[in-house]
Amino acid sequence: MNYNIALIFGGNSNERDISILSAQNVENAIKTLGYNLFKYDLKYDLNKFLSEYKNINLVFNVVHGFEGEDGTLQKKLETLGVKYIGSNSTVSEQTFDKLVFMKKIEKDFSIPEYVSTQKYITPPFEFPLIIKPRKSGSSLGIHICHNIEEYNKFLIEELKNYGEMIIQKFIKGREISVSIIEKNKEIIVLPILEIKPKKEFYDYEAKYTEGLTEFEVPARINKELEEKIKNDFKQIFKELHLKDFARIDAIIKDNNYYILEANTIPGMTELSDLPQSAYAYGLSFEELIDILIKNNI
């Protein structure tokens, strides 16, 4: 097919290595599908892309974290008038910001209690509690604190790294990942995936190290709760004006769910949640990529 797709990956964030793994999978799929592929590492090839973008029909962005997921790259592409897969710059920026995201949904959906801070504060909840960066991905900077020593150490350390942290009540339950895609403007909630990390929670190492996490998809959830989750998360996808694909993470406890965060550039590695849920739905990785591309042709 005489259609030029630019795969933009890499970048400068601490999720660069994962982006490169995602890009390898997407590259293979795009080549298998017969599209013309042009690759650009955002860290090194931005000027090259800017000199060639007029020949590009569509950008497939797999830059995770800062630049690729927070609206920065999307703004550049919008300014250039280049079509791209995924949510627009405003939606990306608001979703990447966990505080903005939670404020947008907390009126209608359950989320764990939280406070945000740019400085050290005394623990606002009983231990264990969670601290996480206001803006980050791949579970980087997230810690479960079991006592005041851990809390002091991690909060002070991560405030230096990220500037603002969210402190959240810890809810012990079943971790789930809900992937949502669009196909011809129809919103499809893929089978719910349950995450069973062998570590205390689904941190960066558990996410990207083979053997450290077990997955069950579809998750064994009672039908009533499953339907509620799927309907509610489809509503969030619509209300936030997400586009093409997204992943929403949550915790199930006592027949209820609590939303943790949303991701507008889901991982595309062999171990990533969205490809696993797509496969359980009956889609190969190539079919998934083709749907995302054809949404934008």
- Per-residue DSSP letters for 141-157? T-EEE-SHHHHHHHHHH
pLDDT, position 200: 61
The identity of residue 284, as a single letter, is S
238: burial class by Cβ within 10 Å (0-12, 13-18, 19+)?
exposed
**pLDDT value of residue 1:** 59
Structural domains in the chain plus CATH codes: 4-85 (3.40.50.20), 95-109+172-294 (3.30.470.20), 114-169 (3.30.1490.20)
pLDDT for 238: 97
What beta strand segments (E) does the chain contain? 4-9, 36-41, 58-61, 114-117, 129-133, 143-145, 165-169, 174-183, 186-189, 193-197, 213-216, 245-253, 256-263
Distance CA 189, CA 187 (A): 7
Residues in the chain where the model's pLDDT stays below 70: 1, 137-139, 199-211
**How confident is the model at residue 271, as a pLDDT?**
78
> Tokens at residue 178, please?
């809900």
Q: Which two tokens stand for residue 226?
A: 């499953």
For residue 104, the model assigns a pLDDT of 96
Pairing of strands 213-216, 114-117: unpaired
